[in-house]
Amino acid sequence: MIFKKSKDKEPLPAKPVGQLPHAQEGLSYNEWRNKRRYNHKWRNIRWAVVIGLSLLFMLSFMLDLSILEGSLSGSRLVGFYLIDPFNTLQLLSISSRTGFIALLTMNFWIGLMIIVGFYAIMGGRTYCSWICPYHFIAEWVDKLRGYMEKKYKIKNHTFNRSLRYVFWVGFILLAFATSSLVFEVINPVGIISRALIYGPGLILLWIVALVLFELLYSKRFWCSYVCPIGTTMAMVGKASPMVVQFDYEKCGYCGECQKVCEVPHVLWFTKRGKATQKIHTAGADCTRCGYCVDRCPGKALTYSFKGIDKLT
């Protein structure tokens, strides 16, 4: 909303060199730029959350802890159900034909509300980087890819990002046409989650294939162009108050945020002469992973909760 409007406005003039933060701090540009090169605060916190949650899932079953039961396609956190929204969409599309909808329990609807409500506030695609175990694997694949790109000159093949909306509709239609949860059969999130909890199976070969494809052909293919869970979550978190916020005054146009970001188009305002207002927020595709927050030498990018300053 604000995002779209702000992009159409007249851009602010690019700051002259004298006004850039490195000049004001009296550092050389490269010194300033490398200031926070090895800062990984948010990444470490995030990895701890991803691993911790996976462990909690595993131990809940192994040791019968009953804290976080089930898997990422449907679970129960100390008695409260949590239901995946895209699974629900597929289920409802089939149910519309068969009338199964009447059987769905109150727990199911409550679980769906909890998830939709939570991610509507905390930012939809937060799920991707803070919960999804496939994202965690893909991050490591990315690192390896970065190394291989340099060494073996692998080419990256990119596609149009709106592919995922086509896949999103396509998977719902496929579910409707075949009367089965087609996406859940090939969903790496569910597969990895279940493999961790209930033990591995042959289906992990699919994950291997996917990883190899992303490694050798197209970087982050699944997350960027296919995964309808991420697309659904982006829709859910469209108006989320939990955002990455950009402060025009502190930006030094170094472009490091664009390099570390998985979805650089959400940081369009960090380019020289693009920002249209003093404060910008990243759009719905932002996974709130915190790489840019960690990296930004001028601390121009920060986590922020819209409206929290008005409360106090």
Partner 1 sequence: MNQKSTEISRRNFLKSGAVVAGSLVAIGAGVGIVKTVTGNDVRNKNFLRPPGAAKEKDFVYGCIKCGLCVQICPVHAIRLAGINKGLSYSTPYIDPRSQPCDFSCDSLQCVETCPTGVLDFRQFKHAGTEAIIAYEEERKAERQQQNDSIHGVGMHDGKGPHGADKGYNPFPIQIAAMKEAVRMGTAKLIPETCLAVQGKGFTGTPRDQDFKGVYRSPAPTTTEITEQEGGDRPRRHQQRGNASGEQIYEKQASPLRNKTFARDICNLCVTECPIGEKAIVMSAETMADGTLHYSPQVLDGCTGCGVCVMVCPTAEASIIVLPNN
Strands 279-281 and 301-305: unpaired
Among 51, 144, 166, 209, binds partner 1 (CB under 8 A): 166
Nearest residue (CB) to partner 1, 84 versus 285: 84
Among 30, 48, 178, 209, binds partner 1 (CB under 8 A): 178
Q: Which residue has the tokens 């602010």?
A: 12
Closest separation between CB of residue 192 and partner 1, Å? Answer: 12
Exposure string (b/e) for 234-258, b if CB count within 10 Å is 16 or more?
A: bbbbeebebbbbbbbebbbbbebbe
Instruction: Kindly indicate which of the ranges 23-31, 35-43, 107-115, 246-254 contains the residues binding partner 1, using the contact rule CB under 8 A.
Output: 107-115
Q: Which of 22, 46, 60, 224: binder of partner 1 (CB under 8 A)?
A: 60
Q: Which of residues 72-91 bind partner 1 (CB under 8 A)?
A: 73-76, 81, 83-84, 87, 90-91
Residue 196 touches partner 1, criterion: CB under 8 A = no
Distance (Å, whole) CA 288 – CA 41? 13
Among 35-43, 71-79, 252-260, 297-305, the segment contacting partner 1 (CB under 8 A): 71-79
Question: In the structure encoding, which two tokens stand for residue 118, read together?
Answer: 């939570």
For residue 255 the two structure tokens come to 């472009």
Rounded to a whole number of angstroms, the minimum distance from the CB of residue 93 to partner 1 is: 10
* Interface residue with partner 1, options 4, 98, 309, 310 (CB under 8 A): 98
Cβ–Cβ under 8 Å, residues 206 and 186:
yes
Where does residue 216 rank: exposed (0-12), middle (13-18), buried (19+ CB within 10 A)?
middle
Taking CB atoms within 8 Å and a gap of at least 24, the contacts of 163-170 are 163/225, 163/226, 164/224, 164/225, 164/226, 164/227, 164/228, 164/230, 164/231, 165/231, 167/225, 167/226, 167/227, 167/228, 167/231, 168/228, 168/231, 168/232
Residue 132 vs 243, nearer CB to partner 1? 132
Q: Is 243:281 a contact under the CB 8 Å cutoff?
A: yes
Which residue's structure tokens are 């695609």? Answer: 125
**29 binds partner 1 per the rule CB under 8 A:** no
Is residue 287 at the binding interface for partner 1, with CB under 8 A as the rule? no
* 188 near partner 1, judged by CB under 8 A: no
Our finding on whether 63 is near partner 1 (CB under 8 A) is no
How many other CB atoms sit within 10 Å of the CB of residue 279? 14
Q: Is 264 in the site for partner 1 (CB under 8 A)?
A: no
Among 14, 27, 89, 170, binds partner 1 (CB under 8 A): 170
Which parts of this chain interact with partner 1 (CB under 8 A)?
A: 60-61, 69-71, 73-76, 81, 83-84, 87, 90-91, 94, 98, 100, 103-105, 107-108, 111, 158-160, 163, 166-167, 170, 174-175, 177-182, 184-186, 190, 194, 197-198, 201-203, 225-226
